[in-house]
C-alpha cells in the first residue's frame, strides 16, 4: 500500500492491469512497516504432629487467570491478493468507499525492486499475527484465507470487520514510495471520524500500534504523516468501518534496507510480533 500513490495509481493499458501500489491508500489530493521448574523439598512432618497438606489457592496456578484479551475478536486484513493482477476487470470495478466516494474494488499492491510482492508479505505477516493472538485465546478472523484469490473488494473487507463485531480491525500493508530516501512505517486512521468507533477507539488503536512499533525497533516514516501517524479521509476500509480500525504500513518496499527485512522470514516475524503485541495491549487497555 503506498502513501504516495499518485505516480502508481492503477492503470489499464490495452486491457491489462499494471502493477500498482495500494490505490486505496492514495491521498485524495497531492500532499507535501520451559524452563525446568525447580521444586524445593521440605522435611516430612513428624508422626507425633501431623499437619495437613496445604491446599493451593486458585491464583497460584498461572492458568487460573485467563489473558486479559481472551474472548475478544480481532479482524486481520492482509492487503491485496495474489490473483488480483490476472483479473483487472474485477478489481477495477468501482465500489463504495465512504464519504460519497467510490474506488476500485482492489489493487495489485506494490513490490520490492527485486519483485517480492506486497500481497505475499501482508498475508505472511497476518498469519503470524493471527497465530500469536489465537495462542492468547483471541478469536481471529481474516478478510482473506489464501494468497491466490481475487479481492475481496475494499468495501467487503470493511463489512467483514463490522459483521464480526470486532474489538479491533487491523489492516496490514507495505508502502511503495519512490521518493528518495523514503523509509519507515506509519499508521493510518479515519479522520474526521464518521462514527463513534472511528473517534477515540480508532485513534487509540492507531497510537498503540505506533508506540509498539517504535519500542520494537521500527522507525516512523520520514516522508508521510506525523510521528508515525497519518489521519486519512480517503481509505475505504477505514471510512466504512463501524469498529475500531487502523491500517499499518509496515515500511517502504522500495527502500533496500526495509525490503531486505520484509523479504526475510525473521524480519516478517519481527513485524508480526510488534503488531500482535500492540493489538494485545490495545485489547487489555
Active site positions, annotated: 249
Cα-Cα-Cα-Cα torsion 249, 252, 253, 256, nearest 10 degrees, comes to -150
Please give the C-alpha separations between residue 134 and each of 85, 137, 193, in angstroms, as whole numbers: 31, 5, 30
Q: Which residues are paired to 172 by β-bridges?
A: 78, 248
DSSP string, 61-74: STTSS--TTTT-EE
Asked if 109 contacts 79 with a C-beta cutoff of 8 angstroms, the reply is yes
**Cα Dmax for the chain:** 97
For residue 188, the tally of other CB atoms under 10 A from its CB is 28
Cα-Cα-Cα-Cα torsion 118, 220, 156, 153, nearest 10 degrees, comes to -40
- Give the separation between CA 231 and CA 274, rounded to whole angstroms: 21
Asked if 256 contacts 116 with a C-beta cutoff of 8 angstroms, the reply is no
Rg (CA), the chain: 22
Asked if 97 contacts 154 with a C-beta cutoff of 8 angstroms, the reply is yes
- Give the separation between CA 235 and CA 6, rounded to whole angstroms: 14
Q: Which residues are paired to 249 by β-bridges?
A: 173, 186
Amino acid at each position: 500500500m503506498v502513501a504516495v500513490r499518485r505516480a502508481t495509481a492503477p492503470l489499464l493499458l490495452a486491457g491489462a492491469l499494471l502493477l500498482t501500489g495500494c490505490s486505496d491508500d492514495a491521498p485524495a489530493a497531492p500532499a507535501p512497516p520451559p524452563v525446568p521448574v525447580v521444586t524445593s523439598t521440605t522435611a516430612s512432618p513428624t508422626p507425633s504432629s501431623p499437619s495437613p497438606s496445604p491446599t493451593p489457592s486458585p491464583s497460584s496456578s498461572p492458568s487460573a487467570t485467563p489473558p486479559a484479551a481472551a474472548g475478544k475478536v480481532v479482524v486481520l486484513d492482509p492487503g491485496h491478493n495474489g490473483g488480483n493482477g490476472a483479473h483487472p476487470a474485477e478489481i477495477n470495478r468501482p465500489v463504495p468507499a465512504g464519504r460519497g466516494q467510490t474506488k476500485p474494488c482492489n489493487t495489485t499492491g506494490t513490490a520490492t525492486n527485486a519483485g517480492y510482492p506486497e500481497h505475499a508479505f501482508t498475508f505472511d505477516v497476518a498469519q503470524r499475527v493471527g497465530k500469536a493472538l489465537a495462542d492468547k485465546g483471541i478469536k481471529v478472523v481474516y478478510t482473506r484465507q489464501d494468497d491466490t484469490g481475487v479481492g475481496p473488494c475494499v468495501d467487503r473487507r470493511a463489512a467483514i470487520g463490522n459483521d464480526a463485531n470486532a474489538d479491533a480491525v487491523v489492516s496490514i500493508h507495505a508502502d511503495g514510495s519512490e521518493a528518495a530516501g523514503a523509509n519507515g512505517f506509519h499508521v493510518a486512521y479515519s479522520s474526521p471520524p464518521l462514527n463513534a468507533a472511528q473517534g477515540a477507539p480508532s485513534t487509540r488503536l492507531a497510537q498503540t500500534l505506533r508506540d509498539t512499533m517504535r519500542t520494537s525497533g521500527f522507525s516512523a516514516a520520514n516522508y508521510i504523516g506525523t510521528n508515525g501517524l497519518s489521519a486519512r479521509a480517503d481509505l475505504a476500509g477505514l471510512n466504512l468501518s463501524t469498529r475500531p480500525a487502523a491500517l499499518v504500513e509496515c515500511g517502504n518496499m522500495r527502500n533496500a534496507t526495509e525490503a531486505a527485512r520484509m523479504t526475510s522470514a525473521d524480519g516478517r516475524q519481527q513485524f508480526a510480533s510488534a503488531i500482535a503485541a500492540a493489538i494485545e495491549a490495545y485489547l487489555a487497555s
